[in-house]
Amino acid sequence: MTSRKKYHTFFTIPLILVFILNAISCKQSNIKMDLNDDTPVLQGIHESGVLKVAIDFNSINYFVYRGKPMGYQYELVQALCKDLQVKPEITVNSNLHETIEGLQNGQFDLIAKSLTDIRELRRLVDFTKPLKQTRQVLVQQKPKNRATDSVYVRTVSDLAEKKVHVQFNSTNYHRIKYLSAEMAEAVEIAEDSVNGAEQLIALVASGEINYTVCDENLAMINQMYYPNIDISLKVSFPQNIAWAVRKGSGEWKEYLDEWIVRFKQTKEYRDIYYRYFVNPRLASRFNSDYHSTSGGGISVYDPLVKELAAKHGWDWRLISAIMYHESRFDPEAESWGGAYGLMQLMPATAESLGVADITDPRQNIEGGILLLNWLNDQLKPSLPDSAERVKFVLASYNIGLGHVKDAQRLAKKYGKNSQVWGNNVDYYMKNKSADRYISDSAVKWGYARGEEAYNFVNKVIANYEHYRNLIPE
């Protein structure tokens, strides 16, 4: 059987059942449960221009495929942010306590995971209207002989005295624990704090363990990759899946409820649902080496990018984010202006950097990195913060250093911080083609379509953050 490279997928559907609530109460948990909190969350989101979201990483909800961030929950969050006219700030967090605490203390505005709406959890959070329904299933190998196979489980009661491996502190664990308590002879439950649900399914498929429990949607997708697994035994009734907000969020919850009801009736939602739960191409996507939950790669050029990025001191995932935007990893990509290759180098620039063959992927990538190094060196004296400086480097890579310097001078002239990109220099870059700035004495390099550089920085940084969330370093 083909084996997949194992990464921690952190697939959890966090639940807090009675024993956890008791533990929280006994330990006086740091989770804040102020039921009278009237903080205007929606107003704060609009004022900041950012929606802070906790999301889970798995092959349904949030992943990277061939360099593109994707996922059911990811696309819903993108659509929501479009409606709100704000940017998403996505955090991957698999820790149950930290996620709830982050919601309560304002670190997150929204938990966009596959949370099951149950009474016990409602003591800590408010649930939105349901997004969909699911149930939990037992994952085991198909029997060689259904009539005589003693390992094959046909009914829930057959699980008595069987050993079931489940992800630590997950819905799956709590469900099997509940079932075990109802049986005359208990189920042996092995909590796994290393492997996620998808890794446990792979272990069942390879025969290393006999049983695990997971969400039915996830099991169905994995069955496309592992046709020898059986997922027919349901171990829960259908359950509502919803988002969670801080208790007492009021207007924010009302907004989300109205948006969910309205959005679920649109073609856009139907397309999203089809993409992740119905599409017959799910298997080929899931099997790819360039899927973050299976192969863990971004493109066929990963080994080359890792080598060259390490040689010159860059995060290979940032270089890959640039390549994705510039060429979609097509080594023969050519722009209308004559830029060529994976990193879209202009011939004159390539020649000045010592690139003898602009069509050669290695030389093209290294040429692009050398250009980034040169721009970084030019900007370093005036931009000491390296994290901030990378945005200026990206803008310069796209539009030229002179135009970026113009935008900095405009920012300084009009009372903005010339050392900060967001909500400062980026405004003048975006509007550099406006008549009022073209003729400004601070502008030395004249007209430029600055909106292209503005969008380039935003898109590359956004993809880089997704890669950092989902792709191993």
- CATH number for 440: 1.10.530.10
Q: What is the CATH number of the domain that holds 28?
A: 3.40.190.10
3-state SS string for 309-342:
HHHHCCCHHHHHHHHHHHHCCCCCCECCCCCECC
- Give the number of domains in the chain: 3
Same domain, 126 and 140: no
323 and 351: one domain?
yes
Catalytic residue among 198, 216, 326, 366: 326
What are the C-alpha distances in Å from 271 to residues 82, 215, 264, 265, 276?
17, 21, 10, 11, 9
170/256 same-domain check: no
Domain end among 208, 230, 252: 230
Angle value at C-alpha 304, between 311 and 348, nearest 5 degrees: 80
- 215 & 282 share domain: no
Question: Do 214 and 248 belong together in one domain?
Answer: no
Q: Do 104 and 26 lie in a common domain?
A: yes
Q: Which domain holds residue 222?
A: 136-230
Say whether both 333 and 429 belong to one domain: yes
Residue 296 domain-assigned (yes or no): no
CB within 8 A of 27, min separation 6: which ones? none
Catalytic residue status for 326: yes
Residue 275 and residue 201 share a domain = no
pLDDT digit of tens for each residue in the chain (473 aa)? 333 333 333 223 333 333 333 433 333 344 444 434 445 899 999 999 999 999 988 888 999 998 999 999 999 999 999 999 999 999 998 666 788 899 999 999 999 988 878 777 788 899 999 999 989 999 999 998 877 788 999 999 999 999 999 988 777 887 888 889 888 889 999 998 888 888 899 999 999 999 999 989 889 988 888 899 999 999 998 989 999 999 999 999 999 999 999 999 999 999 999 999 888 777 677 667 888 877 789 999 999 999 999 999 999 999 999 999 999 999 999 998 899 999 999 999 999 999 999 999 999 999 999 999 999 999 999 999 999 999 999 999 999 999 999 999 999 999 999 999 999 999 999 999 999 999 999 999 999 999 999 999 999 999 999 999 999 88
In three-state secondary structure terms, 360 is: coil
Residues 256 and 110 in one domain: yes
Of 213, 224, 256, 276, residue with least CA distance to 74: 276
